[in-house]
Structure 1
Amino acid sequence: MSNVRADRVGEQIKKEMADILAREVKDPRVQFVTVTDVDVTGDLQQARVYVTVLGSEEDQENTIQALQKARGFIRSEIGNRVQLRKTPEISFYFDESIDYGNRIERLLKDLNEEKQE
């Protein structure tokens, strides 16, 4: 039962987080950020936020650093918007699944081209 609640809270945090990043965070390093997933622990104490960033690897690293720096502000805003007794601790991670999927797609395309030759 708690997993259902954690998933529901994660979805709500994801929605609010996207709005906060788009409208409230003023750090210029936080641009072109997409929240792809939020994993909340069953006890609702920790939230792992996965993001993608449009830009170079350096842009991605700078954005993650800026998000970590703004973590307190973001957590406060989440606390104001999501009705929980205690707002989860937030940590940010770069979501590599898109890069991984693109790599798999390229490999499959290359295999298909080799097969046709």
Structure 2
Amino acid sequence: MADPARARKIADRIKEVIAANLEQVIKDPDLGFVTITDVRVTGDLQHASVFYTVFGDDDQRQRSSEILQAHRGKLRSLVGRHLGIRLTPTLELIPDALPETASHLDDLLRSAREHDEQVARAAAGAAPAGEADPYKKPADGEDEHDGADAR
């Protein structure tokens, strides 16, 4: 098993190599705007999971995914040339769910903000229940301490 720091360095290097050379390796005009978001390498350095996002609609994402899968061998060869290690890890290309998750969180935050605005509007015209000043006050002519100190 490799050192975790070494595995992280190799993952970072794979990310840089693929991101920088993706357009040169895959010369397909149907490939969308692909961003490599993360790479994770197993502890034995035999397998790398490459996470990516595609800017565009569902059809563009589907087509780009098919193109990336078809050129996975070329990408692995590229990585092997640039890494310079004995064994080149196999590549698994995985669409990253980060944009969908971020969109869902944005929707939840928008909903919470709207609810907060509704509560603020309801509280704007509200008056406290009971008296305005609920604390007891000494009657006229009485001392504040009610004679507790007088002996």
Q: TM-score, normalised by structure 2?
A: 0.73
Aligned to 2:140: none
Checking the alignment, whether the CA contact within 8 Å between 2:32 and 2:60 is kept in structure 1 is no
Aligned to 1:65: 66
CA deviation after TM superposition for structure 1 residue 59, in Å = 1.2
- Residue identity in the other structure for 1:8: K
Gaps of 5+ in 1: none
Aligned to 2:50: 49
Q: How is 1:58-97 mapped onto 2 (pairs within 5 angstroms)? A: 58-97=59-98
Checking the alignment, whether the CA contact within 8 Å between 2:32 and 2:61 is kept in structure 1 is no
Distance in 2, Cα, partners of 1:93 & 1:28:
21
CA deviation after TM superposition for structure 1 residue 29, in Å = 2.7
CA deviation after TM superposition for structure 1 residue 65, in Å = 1.2
CA deviation after TM superposition for structure 1 residue 108, in Å = 1.1
- Residue identity in the other structure for 1:106: D
Whichever of the two has the greater Rg, that structure is: 2
Gaps of 5+ in 2: 119-151
Q: How is 1:1-117 mapped onto 2 (pairs within 5 angstroms)? A: 2-117=3-118
- Which structure shows the bigger proportion of residues in helix conformation? 1
Q: CA RMSD in A?
A: 1.2
Distance in 1, Cα, partners of 2:23 & 2:15:
12
Q: TM-score, normalised by structure 1?
A: 0.93
Q: Percent identity?
A: 34
Report how many residues are paired. 117
